[in-house]
Structure 1
Amino acid sequence: MYKKGGADIILFTNIQIKLAKSGFYKGLNRFITICSKAVIMTLVLWAAISPDQALIVLNTANDALLNRFNAYYVWVVSFFLVFCIGMAVIPSIGKLKLGKEHEKPEFSNLSWFSMMFSAGMGIGLMVFSTAEPLWHFGDNPEVIKGNVEPYTRDAIQSAFRYAFLHYGLHPWGIYVVTGLSMAYFSYTHNLPLTVRSTLAPLLGKHLNGYIGHILDITAIISTLLGVAVTIGYGVNQLVIGFSDITEFGWMMSSDENSAPTNTALIFILCIVMSLSTISAATGVGRGIRYLSNLNLGLSCILLLIFLIFGPLFFLLQLYISGLIDYVITLPAISVAVFEIKTPLGDWQENGTILYWAWWIAFAPFVGLFLARISKGRTIREFILGAMFAPTAVCFIWIVLLGGTAVNLELYGTADGNIIGAAPSAQLFETLNMLLSGGMSKAVSILAVILILTFLITSADSGVLVLNTIMAGGEKHTSIKHRIIWGLILTTVIGTLLIVGDGGLEALQNAMIIGALPFSMVMVLMCISVVKEVMNHRK
């Protein structure tokens, strides 16, 4: 309660999420859980039974939304970035604690950062830290406009400018908006750790009805789709890595367009999901934290190898020049709305806008997980730690792995082999070109282990978030339901992998379509936080 002009300002804190006290769904909200399962199974069955039809329908809807809301996505994501920076730099707001004044952070800075990074970006960087710069090396706005020639030294600066844009402050700003909102209302005002709590100052008692349920169901569906699509593509890369190391013929098809076999995909998926379910059952404090710390250690080793064996001077120069170029051009490229047509369609629609929609679709999952592990930290500490630190590390990944691949194509022996490989295989092609013999094999094994641990932490974090929402924000959920949702996630991914890329792409499109309404919820989150923070300062 706060005073303003002699009147009391009261935040609605009587949010009630009814949980079952007995039976199979004990500890969970039956309505939210059953509705979420029904929607997911309907969507998955559609994608599995009629993948071509599902893909056509969802592709059409997805393309229409991305095209029509092109400018909206550009401006709203830039707004989220400005909002986060503003919250951090205003002294009276930045010092506010996410929790009570006496509460200390639950995790050390190292564990906190490693869990954030693993959940938010880890597995994506194993693929795209190489693939993203190589894509922009031959196809970015400067190349398309004719200002620079593709695949030349002149194209390097613009290639990394847009790679930094897509993996820099903007995606982490999206995650921070959601995570900060949930953490602030949950830990400072004792509201449930769910999406609905973030709108308490705006919707009040209406959150106890179907409006609140729909918000939480939307977050569950978005989380499961996001995790399923990510792990589906990650398993694909893991099979390629295993095949590169072991040379087992049964893992890859023998036709002209060599691809992982269904047997290999399901085998690797079962390994990943079995380990992730065990990790989720042990909770954040043990399994997830230990695996995330392992991820950080293995990542440092991999990056150190690229630093030692890669073109050191070229990479250092690239990091400095790329970072300076990113900072200088950030205001302009953040708000640029343009149409640049290519044979594959509009570049911004297929690049930046697609990324912004994808990160927004991931926001409920990553945001709630960030909130879950950030109790006791100040708003400024949360924003700086969850936005600027991961961005700097993402840039290091992109420069070391992507920069090495670019250098090998320009000055080395790659001769188009890295560029010509599938995105999931480009990391291993780079390692084969950079190193030789046993060293190449050893580092490939390290990369495969890292992909595996990143996949496990993505899956177990997702299962934890799903159960937290269904349990009305409770941290300690039933092990039984963590295992059940691990099995559901395995079934969803396995079904779609067997169906083929059409099934996964259909779910990816469904996930991105759902990002549009959730982006509007995120705008309301920002208004809600500002309103309550201003009241807190009265």
Structure 2
Amino acid sequence: MKQTTIVFYVSVVIALLFITWGIIPESVLPHYNLAVVSSTVHAFLIHKFGWFYLLSATAFLIFCFVLIFSKYGNIRLGSDDEKPDYSYKTWFAMLFSAGMGIGLVFWGVAEPMYHYYEPPVGEGETAESARVAMRYAFFHWGLHPWAIYAVVGLALAYFQFRKKAPGVMSGVLRPILGKRVDGVTGVAIDTLAVYATIFGVATSLGLGAIQISGGLSHLIPAINNTITTQLMVIVIVTVLFMLSAQTGLDKGIKWLSDTNVALAALLMVFLLFVGPTNFIMDVFTTTLGSYLQNLSSMSLKLSPFEQSDWPRSWTIFYWAWWIAWAPFVGSFIARVSRGRTVREFIIGVLLVPTVFSMIWFSVFGGTALYLERFEQANIMKIMNDAGVEMALFAVLQHFPFGSLLAGIAIILICTFFVTSADSATFVLGMQTTNGSLNPANSVKFTWGIIQSVIAAILLWTGGLQSLQTASIIAAFPFTIIMILMVVSLLRAFRQEIGK
């Protein structure tokens, strides 16, 4: 591990401390255990600074659109004659698989169902609440999160490939902070990025294990959806993604990303045609128009007069979650975007995954709403009784080849699981080896084991929700870092164009 920096050792120590804190029973620390402390801090940030998250996320989206049409759009993320490392197909597959894949599978049915029964305004279980449910699903998984990822990814790619700076978060801020990025300030910034990545990805691994276990129990009744099954899933998938991680970016991650998108498209297209096709396409068209029409009002919507917690429970939570994920996803898409222009990068990162997500929610969420409203399918009851992880399988069982579809869905979740963990080990390796484009296998192996152990221990102790909350707390300071990234980028762009 000769490549490792002090950030590696500080981050490992922090990870071990949080694991220890997370498994301490509430009876031992009734007022200071991880669940209580993280929930208290998170609630404070959400309630006091919800407006800050909304304004920041919207500003990042506006910044991205401005860059598309600006004179800076022609700047290449690399030397002037450099060509992209990956084809469009592989590039889109990689950034999408790392950014949202497993989350879309988990929430594609569940989120519209929640909004349908408990909309932000008005009564639930109505035609209007169904329309609002789809619109907010588009909103939460659309342009805003990808703008957040694009800001971090663009800053890292520009400074690493154009300016030859180390591919770490602190390196992006050198135009503002100067030599301070080489000292304690830089270590703190990079450690925060590693912290958010470790715990954010570990949470997703835990959620993925829960859904795989639930799918297996649905498909094979002899398998019980228990903590034992979930831990076995983590062990098996850990072996798979560690094998993939050792093959490098151009083999394991590339192949798995292409496979992910192919499987997701296969499942989506099949359900589109065996399901209520006209209804799904009508939902997509109508919701797209409603989303674009209401984008500005949704972007800044709070409920000060109604005193509703809905925006904080959903939109602000999501924005904080995406910002907490930005160090991981931004680092990864920066690494695979060498050779693109600024304009090409932003258009690709913003639009392609957004459109795919919208189609996904139209097919799976739209089908679920159709079954719930017109076929009395009781999908929400199944979610309440058997768990949110069963929502997708509750929909698939209503169609021909339901068991086959469920099997494909389980494989898809597994491949997304492997890709997310594989990508995370690569990013953690980069961030703790001063931005090395090819971190040592020993470093990636260490981070892979740490992620899986965190997910397994917190599943066992019931602390997964606490970990998710703890990871989101990192979003607040990282939002400030992202604002500084925007300033640093603009300063560097102006200097370059002015030459």
TM-score by length of 1: 0.89
Shift of 1:141: 2.0
Aligned counterpart, 2:107: 128
Contact 1:339 1:348 in 2 (8 A): no
| Equivalent residues in 2 for 1:252-267, closer than 5 Å | 252=225, 261-267=226-232
Partner of 2:411: 449
1:37 aligns with 2:12: yes
- Any idea what SS the aligned residue of 1:141 has? coil
Q: 2:375 aligns with which of 402, 412, 419?
A: 412
Aligned-partner Cα distance in 1 for 2:318–2:280: 25
Amino acid at match of 2:444: R
The question of 1:67 aligning with 2:41 is answered no
- Hey, what's the Cα distance between the residues in 1 that align with 2:168 and 2:85? 19
Deviations 1:103-150 (A, max 9, x none): 10001100000011000000000011111111111122232xxxxx31
- How much does 1:419 deviate? 5.5
**Residue 296, structure 1, aligned to residue 296, structure 2:** no
Partners of 1:406 and 1:499 lie apart in 2 by 34
Mapped contact 2:430–2:437 kept (Cα < 8 A): yes
Moved more, 450-459 or 505-514: 505-514
> Who is 2:389 aligned against?
424
Q: 1:86 aligned to 2:46?
A: no
> Distance between the aligned counterparts of 2:336 and 2:156, measured in 1?
12
Aligned amino acid, residue 46 of structure 1: W
Q: Distance in 1 between matches of 2:244 and 2:73?
A: 34
Classify the secondary structure of the residue corresponding to 1:516: helix
Contact 2:141/2:357 (<8 A) preserved:
yes
User: 1:96 touches 1:378 (CA, 8 Å); kept in 2?
Assistant: yes
Task: Give 1:341 deviation, angstroms.
Answer: 6.6
Question: Counterpart of 1:394?
Answer: 357
Long gaps (5+) in structure 2:
none
Structure 2 residue 286 is matched with structure 1 residue 310 = no
Partners of 2:175 and 2:193 in 1: CA distance = 19
Distance in 2 between the 1:109 and 1:225 partners?
30
Task: Decide whether the 8 Å contact of 1:120 with 1:366 is kept in 2.
Answer: yes
User: Which residue of the partner structure matches residue 209 of structure 1?
Assistant: 183
Q: For residues 325-364 of structure 1, give each alpha carbon's deviation from its aligned partner in whole angstroms, at most 9, with x where no partner exists.
A: 100110111122224879xx71111110000000000000
1:249-273 Cα distance to aligned partner (Å, 9 max, x none)? 4x23xxxxxxxx2210110001111
Alignment CA distance shift 1:497-1:411 (3 Å): same
Q: Provide the secondary structure at the position in 2 that maps to 1:142.
A: coil
- Choose which of 422, 426, 430 in structure 2 pairs with 1:460: 422
Task: Tell me the secondary structure at the aligned position of residue 82 of structure 2.
Answer: coil
**Kept in 2: contact 1:129–1:397 (CA 8 A):** yes
Partner Cα distance (1:199, 1:490) in 2 = 31
- Corresponding residue for 2:489? 529
- 1:298-377 to 2 correspondence within 5 Å? 298-339=263-304, 346-377=309-340
- CA–CA distance in structure 2, aligned partners of residues 339 and 107 of structure 1: 47
Q: Is residue 2:353 matched to residue 1:378?
A: no
Cα distance in structure 1, aligned partners of 2:305 and 2:12: 40
Contact 2:199 2:451 in 1 (8 A): no
**1:28 matched residue in structure 2:** 4
The aligned residue for residue 458 of structure 2 is 496
- The residue that corresponds to 2:89 in the other structure is 110
Cα distance in 2 between the residues matched to 1:140 and 1:444:
29
| Aligned-partner Cα distance in 2 for 1:341–1:280 | 49
Alpha-carbon distance in structure 2 between the residues aligned to 1:309 and 1:199: 51
Distance 1:134 1:262 in 2: 26
Amino acid at match of 2:38: L
Distance between the aligned counterparts of 2:185 and 2:248, measured in 1? 30
Structure 1 gaps of 5+ residues are 1-24, 144-148, 253-260
Cα deviations by residue, 1:294-341 (Å, 9 ceiling, x for unpaired): 001101110011111111111111101100110011011112222487
Letter of the aligned partner of 1:136 in structure 2?
H
Which amino acid in structure 1 is aligned with residue 286 of structure 2? S
Amino acid in the other structure paired with 2:477: P
- For the pair 1:154 / 2:128, whether they are aligned, the reply is yes
Match of 1:189 among 147, 150, 163: 163
Give 1:418 shift: 4.9
Paired residue for 1:57? 37
Give the SS at the match of 1:374.
Answer: coil
Over alpha carbons, which structure has the higher Rg?
1
Q: Count how many residue pairs are aligned between Structure 1 and Structure 2.
A: 491
Other-structure match for 1:482:
444
Aligned equivalents of 1:277, 1:244: Cα separation in 2: 28
- Checking the alignment, whether the CA contact within 8 Å between 1:141 and 1:340 is kept in structure 2 is no
| Corresponding position: 1:284 with 2:249 | yes
